[in-house]
A = this chain, B = another copy of it.
């Protein structure tokens, strides 16, 4: 984190903003704390227990957000620590909700820092989804244990896997930035947007997000790379090695593409039939915003809450969907819907044939015994956490639309909500209490609920 602050410092130095001093101080503070932790534990041989793994995961993300907030706090934007922490948490969890008004005139260091946070968060979550979560059996992630980690001799070690994924991630970012530049963006904006596109983060360098450009080709680049950021990265590794089949035949990828296509068709039909929008205009608006919302990116090219009640309701539900497991996206994720669907179908069949034996399948194989309960518990806790967040937000004064959409956008790490906190507004005007509640929601959602909820169970602390 300390090293990653060097880039924004250089950006501010190069452009003559005094904020480079802020980054300089933050580099030293972060390096001091981080260095102390490294040094004080160096050379020791660790065996980490399951409980320690949970605690370590949560504390890592929490301390990253705590330190990442400092540059916001001390920069010339003069944000309160609450605002700074909110912005940092929103960045590192690739959410994309912002409390900053006036991005267009903000120092480049801060803009770059926001992009870097999301970029780091994106790669962090992919590596975590491949290495830590399957072993912790969080919310059905054990489904990906054998597939990606144990039986594959081509990718033997977690560290090697992480570095391969890292190179790929960097490669995609460079490609995305190049494509943005090709459509006319300046280098700085292209790089900043590429970082938050591939991470499905959604921070922009403009208050008006993509409406600032209003250029179809730029939006097309964003659409392509948001989708690329939502597919399982481990399948890209195989594709790069010449084996395209796993990527093309993966049922999660197919479901994802189908759901996106269906949502676009419905939205276009509404825009054309009910709101008298010309077809091409409707197609462009619908595609960009549906992809942005369902992948949890949160870019906008105009305020979709002005399209009428239907778009608001549809987008509310699309927010929870998310992309594929092992990608940078958040939300409930496609594979869980596949498992839930498979189990529910089997349930219906069982009602009709009480003595029949039906086995739910995922991606062509029977679903392992402990996965259904794991996935369904995740779904229940998702609904429960959403309810608690929404009730808490309304208790501190948000109206129904803000409370509902704020809860869903934080736990699903999307970015904008609806109403005042929608794509046309920011989270700045919310009371501090609401910002802390939303920050908690972001962390909860990003760490797949269980990782955090485990720490809240009395059982965790008992022995």
Contacts and interface: CB of A to CB of B under 8 A. Distances in A.
A347 interface: yes
A394 B309 contact: yes
Interface in A286-322: 309-310, 312-314, 316-317
A228 to B, nearest CB: 27
A58 B340 CA distance: 25
Given A340-B380, A404-B313, A136 B351 contact: yes
A25 interface: no
Contacts of A345: 457
Contacts of A403: 309, 313
A252 B252 CA distance: 39
A104 interface: no
Do most interface residues of chain A lie in helix, strand or loop, or is the interface mixed? helix
A138 B450 CA distance: 29
A377 B51 contact: no
Nearest to A320: B387
Contacts of A312: 394, 399-400
Copies in the complex: 2
B459 A381 contact: no
Contacts of A316: 400, 404
A261 to B, nearest CB: 16
A450 B377 contact: no
A454 interface: yes
Contacts of A377: 340, 343-344, 347, 376
Interface residues of A, number: 56
A401 interface: yes
Nearest to A50: B352
Contacts of A222: none
A102 interface: no
A451 to B, nearest CB: 9
Contacts of A257: none
B400 A309 contact: yes
A112 to B, nearest CB: 36
Contact of A348 (B309, B350, B354, B459): B459
B450 A348 contact: yes
Contact of A352 (B317, B349, B399, B454): B454
A32 interface: no
Contacts of A402: 309
Contacts of A450: 347-348, 351
A391 to B, nearest CB: 6
Contact of A317 (B51, B136, B390, B398): B390
Interface string A141-184: 00000000000000000000000000000000000000000000
14 contacts: A51-B352, A54-B351, A54-B352, A309-B398, A309-B403, A312-B399, A313-B390, A313-B404, A316-B404, A344-B381, A349-B459, A351-B454, A376-B377, A376-B379
Interface of A: 50-51, 54, 136-138, 270, 309-310, 312-314, 316-317, 340, 343-345, 347-354, 372-374, 376-377, 379-381, 383, 387, 390-391, 393-395, 397-404, 418, 450, 453-454, 457, 459-460
